[in-house]
Amino acid sequence: MLNPESTFPDSNLGTSQNPKLKRVLIGIGGGIAAYKICEVVSTLFKSGVEVRTILTNSAQKFITPLTFSTLSRYSSFTDENFWQPIYSRPLHIELGEWAEVFLIAPLTANTLAKLAHGMADNLLTNTVLASTCPVVLAPAMNTDMWEQQTVQQNWQNLLKNSRFHSLQPASGLLACDRVGAGRMAEPSEIIAYIQSLLHTAGKRDLAGKQVLISAGGTREHFDPVRFIGNPATGKMGLALAQAALHRGANVTLVHGPLNSDIPLGIEAIPVVRAEEMHSAMMRCLPKADVIIMSAAVADVKPQDYSHQKLPKRSLPKSLALEPIPDIITELAKRKQSHQLLIGFAAQTGDIITPAVEKLHRKNLDAIVANPVDKPDSGFGSDNNQAVFLDKQGHQLEIPPCTKLQLAHHLFDFIGSH
């Protein structure tokens, strides 16, 4: 049903069937982690991304080209295709020119060594040299292999080339029963990095910058099991942290309780109460270049706290409350002239008027007016929409998109004014 000729019209591998679609090339290396790339390919395809896959000979020991052909709806390429003169131009040239982002996962020690020394002896490595797009590397190997001095030297040397973007292996139980570093990044983390690079084309405009972000909701307990809170999940703040990390920033994330894992490379400071978030943000403020308060912080807290769970019959009929100091107002008072402070205004109905008022009253550099009464937007959703405003009077409306895309639009906005 699928054949190499049908993959690209008129055997021209550089011409997409739909030029509006994003184009991702994925090279799969030989390792048990290759099975994870099935989810990557499937998810990208469902999101409207065109995907091409290259399998090394070793990869085919773990998973078949037919699997990826089925998931991507295009033929997978192997070294057997590389040496067949059935295309109008060399296959590695066509694939290299076609790709907007190139993922290599799992990256083996063997392929890493070849890339670090500019070697090209198969379709995958030849295509890397024939391309100019950003390349995402997701290593996976035994801990002792990963920690070998030669492997680490190859890794560090390769990352000196700005084309290459790293997804560091995590620690955990490996297929060899060893517990340690070498576990390939999870599909969700890989997909997020690819989506970032499709937006930025690999630019690292935040390199060397310290970005401080608050995320999630705070909880103000009146006994060990009951609290005043809100529906915030921290997804928006986590997306901001990922976007900043992918653009080269050093990221600190001060967050309330989350249901999501935090990717490697982000310094995470967990908190529960608004007072704890206040303390952490003030402590981290002096080193930050960009501060984004996306957390949904409580406005009030119970006056009294019981160290033991209150029985139902003892619950107060009315709860005495007291205000909580406003974190972003305090940040605005302490920030230096070189620092940018961005706030969020979660609103219903008219989102612009209260956001503009908050922008000026709290002396912010920019604000994100965020409707929380729209479908598939706001608290708990994977998507969002917003209007960006800054103190110079610029305004930009962002239609519904993923929270990661919204995060990148925000960094574009604050970087352009």
β strands within 350-382, DSSP E: 366-371
70: containing domain: 4-200
276 lies in some domain:
yes
Mean pLDDT for all residues in the chain: 92
> Do residues 161 and 270 both lie within one domain?
no
Could you give the percent of the chain with pLDDT greater than 70? Answer: 95
* Integer Cα distance of 197 and 246 in angstroms: 8
Tell whether residue 213 is among the known ligand binding residues.
no
- Specify the range with the lowest mean pLDDT, choosing from 80-84, 158-162, 232-236, 346-350: 80-84
List, as one string, the DSSP characters of 118-179: T---SHHHHHHHT--S-EEEEE---HHHHH-HHHHHHHHHHHTSTTEEE-PPEEEE-TTS-E
A 10 A CB-CB count for 208 gives 9
Which residue carries 């928006």 as its tokens?
236
Identify the pLDDT of residue 380.
85
Report whether pLDDT(261) > 50. yes
Contact between 272 and 219 (Cβ < 8 Å): yes
Tell whether residue 328 is among the known ligand binding residues.
yes
> Do residues 140 and 288 both lie within one domain?
no
Contact between 209 and 250 (Cβ < 8 Å): yes
Both structure tokens of 349: 């109905």
Which of 169, 200, 231 marks a domain boundary? 200
The pTM of this model reads 0.92
Cis peptide before 323 (omega within 30 of 0): no
Tell whether residue 374 is among the known ligand binding residues.
no
> Do residues 188 and 316 both lie within one domain?
no
Please tell me the total count of domains within the chain.
2
Identify the pLDDT of residue 84.
78
> Do residues 188 and 127 both lie within one domain?
yes
Tell whether residue 358 is among the known ligand binding residues.
yes
135 lies in some domain:
yes
Tell whether residue 177 is among the known ligand binding residues.
no
Name the pLDDT band for 3 (thresholds 50, 70, 90): very low
Q: Is 176 a catalytic residue?
A: yes
CATH for 116: 3.40.50.1950
12 lies in some domain:
yes
Identify the pLDDT of residue 17.
54
318 lies in some domain:
yes
Name the pLDDT band for 350 (thresholds 50, 70, 90): very high
Of the residues 133, 176, 284, 401, which is catalytic? 176
Identify the pLDDT of residue 83.
78
Identify the pLDDT of residue 19.
63
> Do residues 83 and 175 both lie within one domain?
yes
297 lies in some domain:
yes
CATH for 313: 3.40.50.10300
The string of pLDDT tens digits covering residues 300-330 is 999 999 999 999 988 988 899 999 999 999 9
> Do residues 184 and 224 both lie within one domain?
no
> Do residues 273 and 167 both lie within one domain?
no
Tell whether residue 62 is among the known ligand binding residues.
no
Which of 171, 200, 229 marks a domain boundary? 200
Identify the pLDDT of residue 4.
40
Identify the pLDDT of residue 18.
64
Residues 11-34: what's their mean pLDDT?
78
- Specify the range with the lowest mean pLDDT, choosing from 75-84, 161-170, 172-181: 172-181
Which of 200, 223, 258 marks a domain boundary? 200
84 lies in some domain:
yes
A 10 A CB-CB count for 38 gives 16
Residues 195-207: what's their mean pLDDT?
97
> Do residues 135 and 176 both lie within one domain?
yes
> Do residues 106 and 195 both lie within one domain?
yes
Identify the pLDDT of residue 5.
38
121 lies in some domain:
yes
Report whether pLDDT(15) > 50. no
Identify the pLDDT of residue 417.
75
205 lies in some domain:
no
Tell whether residue 37 is among the known ligand binding residues.
no
CA torsion angle 54 60 63 66 (round to 10): 60
> Do residues 192 and 281 both lie within one domain?
no
> Do residues 12 and 121 both lie within one domain?
yes
Of 6 and 122, the structure prediction assigns the larger pLDDT to 122
Identify the pLDDT of residue 1.
29
Report whether pLDDT(85) > 80. no
Name the pLDDT band for 87 (thresholds 50, 70, 90): low
Report whether pLDDT(194) > 60. yes
> Do residues 194 and 216 both lie within one domain?
no
Report whether pLDDT(10) > 50. no
Tell whether residue 46 is among the known ligand binding residues.
no
Tell whether residue 309 is among the known ligand binding residues.
yes
